[in-house]
Amino acid sequence: MSSKKPAKNSLQANLDRLEEIVRQLEDGTIPLENAVELYEEGIALSKECAEKLKAAELKIRKLTKSADGKLELEDLE
Protein backbone atom coordinates (compact mmCIF):
# COMPACT_ATOMS: atom_id res chain seq x y z
CA MET A 1 0.00 0.00 0.00
CA SER A 2 1.10 3.49 -0.78
CA SER A 3 1.34 6.08 1.95
CA LYS A 4 1.29 8.95 -0.51
CA LYS A 5 -0.14 12.15 0.85
CA PRO A 6 -1.85 14.43 -1.63
CA ALA A 7 -0.04 17.64 -2.39
CA LYS A 8 -1.63 20.74 -0.90
CA ASN A 9 -3.68 21.89 -3.86
CA SER A 10 -6.56 24.27 -4.20
CA LEU A 11 -9.96 23.17 -3.01
CA GLN A 12 -11.19 22.97 -6.60
CA ALA A 13 -8.22 20.84 -7.69
CA ASN A 14 -8.87 18.47 -4.79
CA LEU A 15 -12.58 18.23 -5.62
CA ASP A 16 -11.76 17.54 -9.27
CA ARG A 17 -9.36 14.77 -8.23
CA LEU A 18 -11.99 13.31 -5.88
CA GLU A 19 -14.48 13.18 -8.75
CA GLU A 20 -11.90 11.40 -10.89
CA ILE A 21 -11.25 8.87 -8.12
CA VAL A 22 -14.97 8.21 -7.70
CA ARG A 23 -15.35 7.61 -11.44
CA GLN A 24 -12.44 5.16 -11.43
CA LEU A 25 -13.78 3.30 -8.39
CA GLU A 26 -17.31 3.14 -9.80
CA ASP A 27 -15.95 1.78 -13.08
CA GLY A 28 -15.00 -1.38 -11.22
CA THR A 29 -12.32 -2.46 -13.66
CA ILE A 30 -9.23 -1.55 -11.66
CA PRO A 31 -7.38 -4.15 -9.57
CA LEU A 32 -8.18 -4.31 -5.86
CA GLU A 33 -4.76 -3.01 -4.82
CA ASN A 34 -5.19 0.07 -7.00
CA ALA A 35 -8.73 0.57 -5.73
CA VAL A 36 -7.49 0.56 -2.14
CA GLU A 37 -4.80 3.12 -2.98
CA LEU A 38 -7.36 5.34 -4.71
CA TYR A 39 -9.69 5.00 -1.74
CA GLU A 40 -6.90 6.06 0.64
CA GLU A 41 -6.05 9.02 -1.57
CA GLY A 42 -9.71 9.98 -1.68
CA ILE A 43 -10.02 9.89 2.10
CA ALA A 44 -6.92 12.08 2.48
CA LEU A 45 -8.26 14.55 -0.10
CA SER A 46 -11.64 14.59 1.62
CA LYS A 47 -10.02 15.46 4.95
CA GLU A 48 -7.94 18.20 3.31
CA CYS A 49 -11.06 19.66 1.68
CA ALA A 50 -12.88 19.65 5.02
CA GLU A 51 -9.95 21.48 6.63
CA LYS A 52 -9.90 24.07 3.84
CA LEU A 53 -13.65 24.63 4.14
CA LYS A 54 -13.40 25.02 7.92
CA ALA A 55 -10.57 27.54 7.52
CA ALA A 56 -12.59 29.48 4.95
CA GLU A 57 -15.61 29.46 7.24
CA LEU A 58 -13.54 30.97 10.04
CA LYS A 59 -12.24 33.70 7.71
CA ILE A 60 -15.68 34.71 6.53
CA ARG A 61 -16.27 37.38 9.06
CA LYS A 62 -17.55 40.88 8.76
CA LEU A 63 -15.90 43.80 10.48
CA THR A 64 -18.42 46.12 12.05
CA LYS A 65 -17.97 49.31 13.97
CA SER A 66 -19.58 49.41 17.35
CA ALA A 67 -21.09 52.58 18.77
CA ASP A 68 -17.82 53.45 20.50
CA GLY A 69 -15.88 53.14 17.23
CA LYS A 70 -14.18 49.82 17.94
CA LEU A 71 -14.00 47.25 15.19
CA GLU A 72 -15.59 43.91 16.00
CA LEU A 73 -15.74 40.63 14.16
CA GLU A 74 -19.22 39.42 13.43
CA ASP A 75 -20.14 36.08 11.90
CA LEU A 76 -21.90 36.30 8.57
CA GLU A 77 -25.19 34.46 8.50
The 10 Å CB-count burial string (b at 16+, else e) for 2-34 is eeeebeeeeeeebeebbeebeeeeeeeeeeeee
What are the residue boundaries of the structural domains of the chain, listed by start? 11-75
Which pLDDT band holds residue 2 (cuts at 50, 70, 90)? very low
| Mean pLDDT for the stretch of residues 57-74 | 66
Q: Which residue did the predictor score with more confidence, 65 or 52?
A: 52
**pTM (2 d.p.):** 0.67
pLDDT per residue as tens digits for the range 11-62: 999 999 999 999 999 999 999 999 999 999 999 999 999 999 988 877 765 5
Q: Which residue did the predictor score with more confidence, 73 or 10?
A: 10
